[in-house]
Amino acid sequence: MKKLLSLVAVIAFAASAFGQVKAASFEAGVYYAPSYKYRVQVYSGGATAGGAYSIVLFAPTVTLSDGRVVNPFSTSNPITIGQGANQETVTPSAVSGCGVGQPYRGCTITATFSNAHGKGDTITSGTSGWAEAVADAANNGGGNVYWEVDCGVITLSTGGATTTSTCLVPKTFTDGGGSVRVTTTITTSASYSLGIASATTGFVSACTSLTAGLGCGQFQAAPGSVATGTGTGALLITANAAAGAGAIHAKVWGYTAAQSSF
């Protein structure tokens, strides 16, 4: 019971700060994933068309807002690369020369890309920092990770009741809640929920706000545990029926316990 109350307190505090700037990546036993939203640039490599190829980064590590130096690059952590229509999120197939003590301009990431990328392209976390925070916690003996993900605008599927987004969240978490703002009026569907596979109401349940400009916000006062595996899962929007039209801006947040990698 004491652990549950502590968990609720942590999530309540973190959720109240959603959208605010927080400098500390680690505080009071909790890793704060938004602080892991790094931004780096490609130094060399790349290709003029999509395919499997390598890129070299300027630096082998990133420095977080509180000055901590970490290596966010691995074959487990998706990256988002590029700008505009060329932007995409991929998971590296190989990483070498990255980490503390490695030389500059030697960190190499290999992946299968759909688009062309090269020198000057920007790379950011593909998970809004939570995969990197979980990995950092695991590398430091384990710990609790608070995360929040702004999934942006998601257009609802008109071919079925379920919309599978490209927004990545942990497969295992304690749900903190979610918020939705309708950006394009939803037709045909009468309600929708936010979650992941096997837990389709994990963040928001049965929202009936359908008109553009309206929305739903749900804070889980009694957080529940969702355990559907390790790694990343796609955020799902599950409606009671296929939409005739519609789009929403979704944000979700929660808590994941990272086990020690030792």
Q: What is the pLDDT of residues 61-104, one digit of tens each?
A: 999 989 999 999 999 999 999 999 999 999 999 999 999 999 99
Domain ranges, ordered by start, for the chain: 1-36+128-262, 38-126
Task: Name the pLDDT band for 120 (thresholds 50, 70, 90).
Answer: very high
HEC string of the chain equals: CHHHHHHHHHHHHHHHCCCCCCCCCEECCEEEHHHHCCEEEEEEEEECCCEEEEEEECCCCEECCCCCEECCCCCCCCEEECCHHHCEEECCCEEECCCCCCCCCCEEEEEEECCCEECCCEEEECCCCHHHHHHHHHHCCCEEEEEEEEEEEEECCCCCCEEEEEEEEEEEEEEEEEEEEEEEEEECCCCEEEEECCEEEEEEEEECCCCCCCEEEEECCCCCEEEEEEEEEEEEEEECCCCCEEEEEEEEEEEEEECCCC
Q: What is the pLDDT of residue 262?
A: 66
Task: Name the pLDDT band for 13 (thresholds 50, 70, 90).
Answer: very low
Task: Name the pLDDT band for 259 (thresholds 50, 70, 90).
Answer: confident
Task: Name the pLDDT band for 221 (thresholds 50, 70, 90).
Answer: low
Mean pLDDT confidence for 108-119: 98
Instruction: Name which CATH class applies to 1-36+128-262.
Output: mainly beta
Global pTM value: 0.86
For the domain covering 38-126, report its CATH number.
Answer: 2.40.10
Q: What is the pLDDT of residue 224?
A: 85
